[in-house]
Amino acid sequence: MNESFMEIKDIIYSAGILLTFGLGAWNLIVNYKTTRKTSFINTVTSQRIKWLEQLRLDIGAYCGLTHNWFYSGLAGTEKEHEVLKEIDRLRHVIQLRLNPNGALDQKIQKLIQDIPNFTDQSKKQELDKAIQELVERSQEMLKEEWEKVKAESVNGNLNEEKKSCLPWKS
């Protein structure tokens, strides 16, 4: 009877060891997937924040330089060439930072393309209106994107388009 009891005890120990090993392996896999997901979301969120800040700076510089150039009377000076070169660079950089499929992004892109058409002195009001509208549409888009950043950082939710390419969702 004592030998039979030892066998049951050994079976219980063995089952406990196997169960502990199984739980440890399962925990390792779950932690690995969670860490990868968290790392990916943190990377996307931090890059999105950098993108938002750079876009804000570029749009602000574009509006400020355009307004300043128009009202400064730099026409014909060497400084004018430098300012126009920077305005043109910003115009293209901003468009490259925008989503070609986003509704607000498309409005911003159209305004950026239209603003040079209003740089004649006879179109002062149109220029002022276009710059103000660019600022307002940019504020809307930046606010919308900021809300996405907050949701991603809190919930870890990325839009469905991004979820489909996540390695742990395969």
Tens of pLDDT along 36-58? 888 888 888 889 999 999 999 99
CB 157 within 8 A of CB 148: no
Task: Give the range among 20-24, 146-150, 152-156 with minimum mean pLDDT.
Answer: 152-156
3-state SS track over 17-48: HHHHHHHHHHHHHHHHHHHHHHHHHHHHHHHH
Alpha-helical runs (H) found in the chain: 2-72, 78-97, 103-114, 124-155, 160-163
The domain locations on the chain are 2-156
In this predicted structure, what is the pLDDT of residue 168?
A: 39
Taking 60 as the threshold, does the pLDDT of residue 161 lie above it?
no
Tens of pLDDT along 103-130? 999 999 999 999 999 988 899 999 999 9
In this predicted structure, what is the pLDDT of residue 17?
A: 94
Looking at domain 2-156, does it have CATH number 1.10.287?
A: no
Taking 50 as the threshold, does the pLDDT of residue 5 lie above it?
yes
Over range 144-150, report the average pLDDT.
90
Q: Rounded to whole angstroms, how far apart are CA atoms 109 and 134?
A: 9
In this predicted structure, what is the pLDDT of residue 159?
A: 59
In this predicted structure, what is the pLDDT of residue 158?
A: 60
Q: Higher pLDDT residue, 57 or 156? A: 57
Q: Rounded to whole angstroms, how far apart are CA atoms 77 and 81?
A: 7
